[in-house]
Amino acid sequence: MLIMLVHTTTVFAAPLVLGLSTKHPLSEPQVGELLISELRCAACHNRKDASQAQERQAPDLSDVGSRVSPDFLRRFIASPSNSHSGTTMPDMLAAETADERNKIAEAITLFLIAQSPGKFQREAIREQEATAGKALFHSVGCVACHSPRDDNGKVISPGGEIELGHIPSKYSLSSLSDFLFQPLRVRPSGRMPDMKLTPVEAKAVASYLMMASAMESTSSSLPPIRNIAVSMRYPCSQGLLPNTMAFIALCFLV
């Protein structure tokens, strides 16, 4: 009797570093040097020439609880590449069981929400602003890094570009507008350039992206996040953060 054992595994998208996904003139050592900087390897590892390395600054998380949806935040911490394809955020909880991974992710999410002075809130999107945003998206330079879209909001030429399908589940209209207006304020080493949009233009592009990307967003399979007033006592007292490496993930969160 023949018994066949089949091993299954989940494969997630590799980190996407602009310029390396297409033809480039860099040698392998140069690519490695770039990746060490882009992926913030020096946050955990020392180098002989560490003084010469130009490490990226971590994003500002002081108000992330009001900028990013709590549900997305939890899913992203639990499984970065599964929530945002191509992200450079490492999977710090890969060694944990699914149950522990979700518990740790929820605990960190609740901590971040508690530190934020504001509260995350959704707003309605106006079709007129989204229409204006569509024209701006395809004319001010966004399509240099992000795929153009057809009249139905569907990506026209996917492959190598930074995908935006996670946008509706991650941001509110106001938080995305603020990011597009001043992208380097919370991500000082981010690769998103300041397109010099006015606040009105930033909101228009945000409206278009929220509406156009909605069909690509993924819904959460996790249970609803617990009430923060009740939950903040749990992370330390009930051991939901047994692995201190989980906190290092906060240095990479985007």
How much is the pLDDT for 220?
A: 47
How much is the pLDDT for 32?
A: 75
Neighbouring C-beta atoms of residue 97, cutoff 10 Å: 9
How much is the pLDDT for 138?
A: 92
How much is the pLDDT for 90?
A: 83
> Taking residues 162-182, what's their average pLDDT?
93
Domain range summary for the chain, segments of one domain joined by +: 23-55, 57-254
How much is the pLDDT for 50?
A: 54
How much is the pLDDT for 84?
A: 83
pLDDT tens digits, one per residue of 73-119:
999 999 988 888 778 788 889 889 999 999 999 999 999 999 999 99
How much is the pLDDT for 224?
A: 56
How much is the pLDDT for 247?
A: 45
How much is the pLDDT for 169?
A: 93
Residue 10 has pLDDT above 70, yes or no: no
What share of the chain in percent tops pLDDT 90?
A: 41
How much is the pLDDT for 14?
A: 61
> Taking residues 248-253, what's their average pLDDT?
43
Residue 177 has pLDDT above 80, yes or no: yes
How much is the pLDDT for 28?
A: 79
Entry pTM: 0.69
Residue 39: band (very low, low, confident or very high) from pLDDT cuts 50, 70, 90: low
Lowest mean pLDDT among 42-46, 62-66, 99-103, 210-214: 42-46
Q: How far is CA 81 from CA 27, 51, 189, 191, 241, in A?
A: 27, 30, 20, 18, 21
> Taking residues 163-188, what's their average pLDDT?
93
pLDDT tens digits, one per residue of 192-245:
889 999 999 999 999 999 987 664 444 445 555 555 443 443 343 344 444 444
How much is the pLDDT for 222?
A: 53
Neighbouring C-beta atoms of residue 171, cutoff 10 Å: 24
How much is the pLDDT for 226?
A: 55
Average model confidence (pLDDT) across the chain: 76
